[in-house]
Every structure is written in structure tokens, then in C-alpha cells.
Structure 1
């Protein structure tokens, strides 16, 4: 069976670690040394101040072995640095002359009874010069992962016999104590670093954390409290009563009731409310909390999250749904009126179906434009592109304007009736006929501004005058212009074809 991705990653990590530990040759040694030095830096001990916990160990070891010098030595890349140096004033020595480097290299205790008789150390400056080492016994300081970071060693200025196994075991026990102390510092540093990272993450996440003590009314804050409650939160909001003062007056009683219910019943707390943020104005917050029981006391630990944008989107969605409902009612009313009135002007079932389909197509063109925008306004150019797609020989020019829904529907029906009549009786009934539509929106005082549009047909059948009877289409055009748009419509039958002029109050802004 195939390994899961997580298992594959863990296998790869284990293989890499084993490669570092077991690989031979120069490359393997370099990798192993890098791994050891990386481990050493995890403990954050290099170049730190003296500490009693380590100094006590070297003092005890020196006394136990009756030796003048005892060291906690950490072997860095180019030096050995002494975290504790009992009986020695130096804080470090070069690594290449150190005795401790041999303990690190061999990863086992090293005992030198007389360096002058050992070819490795006979010419060593630490032997021929200060501190005149004549005896050395060092044991490894092993990290949590097995890496040897340095040594705990004893040094004498006189040659002496090798310590027995019991004495070396004691030295290794003290080395374990040194590493236990170092491990405490490593884990404390990791804990503090993790806490700092968490606090920074909370700041970036815009989440405020709080703890409320119902007995003292005190509140402690962490995270993005300044962003959610105001930059003065530490001084201004130390108690729940002060927090209630910053909650919006209309929501204050509701939040107080939710907190009182949580306190009295021990249930979790959850609510949404507005706050009067001193820098950002009114903001919506969500609050969630549960009880943290500690011995005989309980505190309510919770979070706040800014939900202003979500509330705004929800309000806009509700507004849009109400507007859509209103538009749909208007649309159904328009469709109903078209169906009812078309019935009286149709010459038969086929004619009735054709007229209904044509007018419903006009409504569909208007709805396509509205759907492409925001349901409330539509572009004049977008509407004309829909008309041109249905009637390709209609050409148009004019500024793009934003029409409200009722005006867009009225214009769509107007163009449809004009185009349908042109197909049946006018310019679009012949192969070479065409229609030119142009409009302008005049400037001037707002009350006197006018929208003027001209529909001009050429190349069609010769129509010498107005129809003998007023059709429903004509009535629909006149009602669209006069009743819905508050304008005028005039039609002239010129020798070249129909010219229709429409004048409306200029209430539309440019897109």
C-alpha cells in the first residue's frame, strides 16, 4: 500500500538525519559538524553571562576531584568558550589547541595523565605555557539529539593517575546535570519564542484575546485589542464595566445580559455587538468565550473578531434581495400588462404569440443589461449592443449613460416597437434599408437639461403617412416615453422613411 504524504515526509527526514549521522568521508563529516553546531546554537548559551547553576557544578567537580580547574566548555566552530570556568580567568581559547575538541571528535571521554608524554599535546601552547596543563579528564556534554556540544572537564597543573570508573561516572553524572540545566534554558527560550510568535500572529490576525474575572471584574487583554477596541485599551478598559461603556448604547443591555447568563449558568458566552471605537468609529465585533477553571477560581477566556465587513456584506445582500424582489414584482406586472393588452390588438393566435415573444425579448434585453451591472442601473451602450444584436442594421451613436431600471425597461420596449415596425413596414423590411439612432444630452441648468434622441429610417418601403389606427405598439411607445420617462415623442414620415424624435428630461449621469 502506498505511503501517505505525511509518512513519506517523515521517512525522508529520518533518512536525512541518518545520513548526517552515518555518512562517511569529508562531506559526511562536514554535514555532521554543521548539524552539531546548529544544535549548539539551539541552546543560546554562547557568550551569555555567568550563571550560578553552572558555576556550582564546576565548583563541586573541582572539589570532588581535588583539582584546581573545572570547566563547562562549549566547542564552537573556531573556539572553545567556557560557560563556567572554575580556577581559570580565560573565557575562551582557540579550538585548534583545545583538549576538548578531541572529546567532541571521539564522542567519548578523554583522559590525558601527562600531556608532555602524549604526542598530541606535547607542543600545545596550553601545556608549554599558561595554564600549564599536566592532567586532563573530560566527558561529553550530549544534547537532546545526541550531538556532543562540548565537555565538562577537570584540569590539573601536575601529572596524576587516571580516575577510576566510579570517579568518571560521577563526572558524567555532573555532565548530565549541566545538560539538564541547559535543556531548561533551551525549552524556556523555545517557549518564549513561541509565545512571541503567537502574539505577533494574533496581532496580524486581528483577533483580540481577553480574560474576565467575574469576582474582581478585571479584564486582561492580548492580541489585537488596540485594533478592535482602541489604542487606549490598556488604560481605558481594565474592567468589564469600562468595556460596557465602550459598547454601543443600543447593544449594551444585550451584551450585559449575555455575560450575566454565562456567569450565572457557567455556559459559554457568544454574541455580536457594535463598539464605539475612538479612532475608527462604530465597528461590529463578534465575541466568543468559555470558562477556564483554575483550582477554586474560574475566568472567562474569550476572543473578539471584527465582523464589520461581513455585516456590511450581509446588509448589502439583504438590500439587494429586497431590491430584486421589488424589481421582479415590477417585471411580472409589466409582463402581465403586455400579455393582457396584446391580446386585444392581435390578429390571431400566431400573431399574438409573435408579438408576445417580441416584447418579452425586449424585456430580456433589459434584464441582461441589468444583470451585467448591479440590478439597479444599466448602460445605454450595453442596451444598444443588445438591440443591435437582434436587429443588425440598426446603427447608433451617442454618449454612454446610466439608466435606472424603470427607464432601461421603457427604452428597451421603445426600441423593440420601433425596430419591429421597421421590420414589418419600414427600413428593415427591405434588403438595403437601415436605421440610424443618435442621441445627445444637453448641458445647462439641471432643470432645463434635455436628452434628445432621433430614430431615422432610410432605404425602406415608401410609407406616406401615419397608420389609420393606433396600434398597441404605438400606445406602448407613447406610454413608455410620456408616462414612464416624462418626455415627448414625435413621428414624421419623410420620403426617405420614418423619423422619430424623442425628448426627455436629462436626469441620467454619464457612465
Structure 2
């Protein structure tokens, strides 16, 4: 039998080759090699596709050139032989175990069988004993980009024929190469389309829009998250550069126009941030970056745009917080300075001065702990009372949790500190059995004027409680906290059971 350009199997092949699976090349066992082959076959996305002229023309030409009634482009799946193109045959597939091309794939070489009836591998094959009554077969491998054999290009005759000579086998292999070149074009195209779809999905998920600006035509083309950024009507509204400027916030149009014109005039990168008026979402901030993509004589400004509204909002909030923190720190330092100055005049000696300053700074620290545990601007009444209770364990409290602004929280902290300190030195907390009960309520919205009521009631002190002979700085601090800082009133009663303090403030605080 004539040999092709490379070794090929003929009708006298040894019985050991029957049913042989893929050759064990490259260190892979047959199962691994077959798994790789099937994976490669799936990459081409050819199985079960409709007939295509590009393949049908080749099989028709091959059948005419070799003067055979049947020419096939056969792909071998895991359980079937499927025909991408079948000239002279009406079926689209046959079982794999009766296919001729399984032997070509197993040995990765061309195979010619001049008389199948004389070959024990094929003489009882249903394709030989029945339609299409194969008597002659010649097939060459269809090799993928990675060398894997996916199937065959084969010619079939219903009569015995002489073997193909070297020239004929080379021609058949050339046609097989043409088929695989066409298949590779489709594979690469499908991979490109899939990569494009993946990129578009990624852009959608990331909130990034891509754009191209044709400066000569004044046309803009957007993709990705364009609808989310610019509005559902972006294709028509932003088709031209003037439509683009119409959507920009009026206060930002001038600087954006200057930046774009400068980029066009000088061929420099384009980078800016501006506000747009989104038809569904209102004013939004957009950041854009672009550069020139030069192709032949055409230059396109190509780039991306990102919605940075949330970042701008966070930045503005951070700036606002820093300004608020600066304001609060100035207030805090002013309060500390006043406490230090006024305490100096009321202290009996250095030790007394240090103790009083330390107690009042502790009160300020309690207020700051509550503010730090929240948002710097408001603090919980319950959180403050827990701080007070930790410092003075025999204080009990009850009332609704309210959100106090920073100035009110500091004033309340100083108020409770002065009352508790006086109770320790002169009131109920001088005795181990002494107790302080703090309770508060807030009028409903229908009450006018709406007030916050707080009662401080001491019981069980070791000494009888009487009004002080002189007004101390602590008392002045309490008065200042209630009347000046909180805008309320305070009444003190020296009952037989102990001191009772009633405080009324405007009810300006909402519940936590």
C-alpha cells in the first residue's frame, strides 16, 4: 500500500491495533488524553450546529476531486460520531463504537482501508453490512491548534478502490487544514465575543462606562454602565458632544469644555471631574479619564467614566466632621479653661484644687466617651448614665433613652458630676446605706410647652441635710449648666430624707 507523507495505517494493520485508544504521548495516560481532546472539541463549539457553506463547499469539492460518492467532516464526541458536513450522506451522526474515524483519532495518523470486507475490524460493521455499504475508506486527522485530533476529513466509496498515492493523501490533508483554519476562525471569534461579553458584564458590575469621542464628527459612543451613569436615554441624548454638554451641570460646563478643547488641540490626555443632571437620579458626580487612540489617520479620544457621587459625599461628610470636631474641640478647651480658672478661686488648698479639677475633667471625659461611642455629634442619655453609675455605684436611674447633642451632653455630665460629688461629701452618699435615684420623663408632642423633667432624689445620708450657708462654685456650675447651657430651670429642696433637685428643660431631644 502506498505511504503518505507520514506513516499511516493500511488494511493489513495488526490485530493489536484494534480498538486502540489514544496513544500515550506527552506523559498522559489514555484517559487524560481523551479528556483533553474532548475539552478541546468543546472549545470549538461546532457540535450540533447548523450546516455551513464554508464546510459543505470543502466536502463537495473533495468528493468531486477524488470521485467518491461520500465525503465527511466527522467530529468524535464521547459517545458518537457527528458530521459537521456530510456530502452524499443523509444522517448527521452515528454511534462512536462503529465509526471508522475512531482509529484515525486513536493513532493520530491518516488511515486508508482499500477493501473493508477483507479487514476483520470493519467487515461486520453495520455501516459495511448496511447503508451506506462502505467498501473503501480514507481519512486524515483534523488537528486542533494544540495538536489534539478532533475528528477526520474522510472520503468513502461503495466499491473497492486502490490506495491513495502520496500526492492524493497530501491533498486530502491540505483540505483538512483548510477545514481546521475555518474552525479556528470560528473558535477565535467565539472566544473574542465571549471575552467582550465578559468585559461588558464586568463593566456593568463595576459601574464603569467606556466611551469613544470622535472629535472630527463630534460623535460619542458609550458602552458598559452608561445607562446607570447617564440615564436610560443615553444613546440618543449623548449621541453628540452638544448633547453631552447639555447633560452636564450648568456650573461645570465651562471648565469641562475648556479641558476637552485643550485635549483635542494638543493631543494630551483628558482628565476631569464634574457634575451631571441625571434624568432619574438627580445630580451625580462623574470622573473621566481618557487618552488618544491613533489608528491610521483617525484619532479617537478613548476612556472610562466612573460615578464618584458616593466618594464625594463621603469626602464632604469627612470635611464636615472635621469642621465639627474642630468646633467641638474649641468648645471643650474653652470649658476646661473656664473650669480651671473658676476652680482656682474656690479651692481651699492645692490638694483640694487638684481633686476638684480631676473630678470635673472626669465628667468631661464621660461625655466624650459617650460621643466617641456614637457619631461625635449626639450621645445617648442611657450611655451617659452608665458612665455616671460606674463612677458612683449607688446612683440608680430610670427614664427613656434620648439622643442629646454634644453641648447638652457635656452640660448634663457636669451637672451629674457636681450633684454626685456634693452627695459624696455632704449628702446621701456619705453613708454606705445612702442612695440616689435619678428619673426623667419627656412630655408628649401634644403638650405645650413641651418639657423634659428630671428629678434627683437623695435618701439615707449619714448626716442631716440643710441648705448651704454660701453658694459654692459647684452650685454655680450646676446653675450655669441648667440655665445658660440647657435653657431650663432648677429647684432644690432639702427634705428630711435628703436633697431633692427638680430640673425642667425644653424638650428638644428625640428618643434613641
Provide the secondary structure at the position in 2 that maps to 1:448.
coil
Does the Cα contact within 8 Å between 1:109 and 1:139 map onto a contact in 2? yes
Offset at 1:276? 0.8
Provide the secondary structure at the position in 2 that maps to 1:72.
strand
Which range moves more in the overlay, 186-195 or 433-442?
433-442
1:448 aligns with 2:454: no
Offset at 1:444? 5.7
Match of 1:499 in 2: 500
Offset at 1:32? 3.5
Which range moves more in the overlay, 395-404 or 129-138?
129-138
Does the Cα contact within 8 Å between 1:462 and 1:497 map onto a contact in 2? no
Which range moves more in the overlay, 311-320 or 462-471?
462-471
Provide the secondary structure at the position in 1 that maps to 2:153.
strand
CA distance, structure 1, for counterparts of residue 511 and residue 163 of structure 2: 99
Match of 1:275 in 2: 276
Query: C-alpha offsets along residues 298-320 of structure 1, whole Å, 9 cap, x if unaligned?
Result: 11111111111111111111111
Match of 2:3 in 1: none
Offset at 1:85? 2.5
> TM-score scaled by structure 2?
0.91
CA distance, structure 1, for counterparts of residue 174 and residue 237 of structure 2: 54
Which range moves more in the overlay, 145-154 or 404-413?
145-154
Offset at 1:374? 1.3
Closer/same/farther in 2, CA of residues 425 and 20 from structure 1, 3 Å limit: farther
1:233 aligns with 2:216: no
Offset at 1:19? 8.9
Give me the CA root mean square deviation. 1.9
CA distance, structure 2, for counterparts of residue 277 and residue 466 of structure 1: 68
Does the Cα contact within 8 Å between 2:71 and 2:154 map onto a contact in 1? yes
Which range moves more in the overlay, 445-454 or 325-334?
445-454
Query: C-alpha offsets along residues 73-122 of structure 1, whole Å, 9 cap, x if unaligned?
Result: 11223332222223334333333332222212332222111112112222
Offset at 1:249? 0.7
Provide the secondary structure at the position in 2 that maps to 1:460.
coil
Does the Cα contact within 8 Å between 2:426 and 2:465 map onto a contact in 1? no
Query: C-alpha offsets along residues 273-318 of structure 1, whole Å, 9 cap, x if unaligned?
Result: 1111111111111111111111111111111111111111111111
The answer for unaligned runs of 5 or more in structure 2 is 1-22
CA distance, structure 2, for counterparts of residue 149 and residue 293 of structure 1: 41
CA distance, structure 2, for counterparts of residue 125 and residue 110 of structure 1: 19
Which range moves more in the overlay, 69-78 or 386-395?
69-78
Which range moves more in the overlay, 144-153 or 295-304?
144-153
CA distance, structure 2, for counterparts of residue 168 and residue 444 of structure 1: 99
Closer/same/farther in 2, CA of residues 233 and 19 from structure 1, 3 Å limit: farther
Match of 1:14 in 2: none
Which range moves more in the overlay, 79-88 or 106-115?
79-88
Query: Map of 1:40-59 to 2, 5 A cutoff?
Result: 40-59=41-60
CA distance, structure 2, for counterparts of residue 98 and residue 386 of structure 1: 86
1:111 aligns with 2:125: no
Offset at 1:216? 0.4
CA distance, structure 2, for counterparts of residue 73 and residue 241 of structure 1: 57
Does the Cα contact within 8 Å between 2:465 and 2:499 map onto a contact in 1? no
Does the Cα contact within 8 Å between 2:79 and 2:95 map onto a contact in 1? yes
Does the Cα contact within 8 Å between 1:73 and 1:82 map onto a contact in 2? yes
Offset at 1:23? 5.1
Closer/same/farther in 2, CA of residues 494 and 259 from structure 1, 3 Å limit: same
CA distance, structure 1, for counterparts of residue 439 and residue 353 of structure 2: 31
Does the Cα contact within 8 Å between 1:206 and 1:227 map onto a contact in 2? yes
Closer/same/farther in 2, CA of residues 72 and 215 from structure 1, 3 Å limit: same
CA distance, structure 1, for counterparts of residue 25 and residue 253 of structure 2: 62
Match of 1:382 in 2: 383
CA distance, structure 2, for counterparts of residue 145 and residue 219 of structure 1: 41
Does the Cα contact within 8 Å between 2:415 and 2:478 map onto a contact in 1? yes
Match of 1:131 in 2: 132
Which range moves more in the overlay, 485-494 or 275-284?
485-494
Offset at 1:68? 3.0
Higher relative contact order (CA closer than 8 Å, sequence separation 6+)? 2
CA distance, structure 2, for counterparts of residue 431 and residue 81 of structure 1: 97
Match of 2:154 in 1: 153
